[in-house]
Amino acid sequence: AQSVAQPEDQVNVAEGNPLTVKCTYSVSGNPYLFWYVQYPNRGLQFLLKYITGDNLVKGSYGFEAEFNKSQTSFHLKKPSALVSDSALYFCAVRDQTGANNLFFGTGTRLTVIP
């Protein structure tokens, strides 16, 4: 069965510092991996995805994520955090065994401190 783990409920980082939001996954076969962001009182917005190819994926707002097959991880990163990056971040994996539904992690709240 597929699953996604986000081990940190909360990540705090100073503005201008690099940030990392962690995600590990478990899925049969090759994974399709996603990051979504949720700002207060809004729906989720797509940030980036990994399907195949280059392990470093670049997405919206300067975010990137690194796919690591041996560690089954897909950590979200940004070289220099902005206060406006403060939000709730969700990692997700697509089930490729029939239903093809998207399974989400529990979310990590990122707070960027001015």
Partner 1 sequence: NAGVTQTPKFQVLKTGQSMTLQCAQDMNHNSMYWYRQDPGMGLRLIYYSASEGTTDKGEVPNGYNVSRLNKREFSLRLESAAPSQTSVYFCASTFDRAGANVLTFGAGSRLTVL
Among residues 22 and 49, whose Cβ is nearest to partner 1? 49
Say which amino acid occupies 43.
Answer: G
Min. distance of Cβ 17 from partner 1 in angstroms? Answer: 26
Geometric angle at alpha carbon 20, from 79 and 49, rounded to 5°: 90
Footprint (CB under 8 A) of partner 1, residues 14-73: 32, 34, 36, 41-46, 49, 51
Among residues 15 and 104, whose Cβ is nearest to partner 1? 104
Min. distance of Cβ 71 from partner 1 in angstroms? Answer: 21
Cβ atoms of residues 49 and 93 within 8 Å: no
Cβ atoms of residues 81 and 13 within 8 Å: yes
Helix-, strand-, coil-residue percentages of the chain, each rounded to 5: 5, 50, 45
By CB under 8 A, which span of 12-20, 68-76, 79-87, 93-101 interacts with partner 1? 93-101
d(CA 10, CA 27): 25
Is 82 a binder of partner 1 (CB under 8 A)?
A: no
Residue with tokens 């939000």: 87
Q: Interface residues with partner 1 (CB under 8 A)? A: 6, 9, 32, 34, 36, 41-46, 49, 51, 90, 94, 99-107
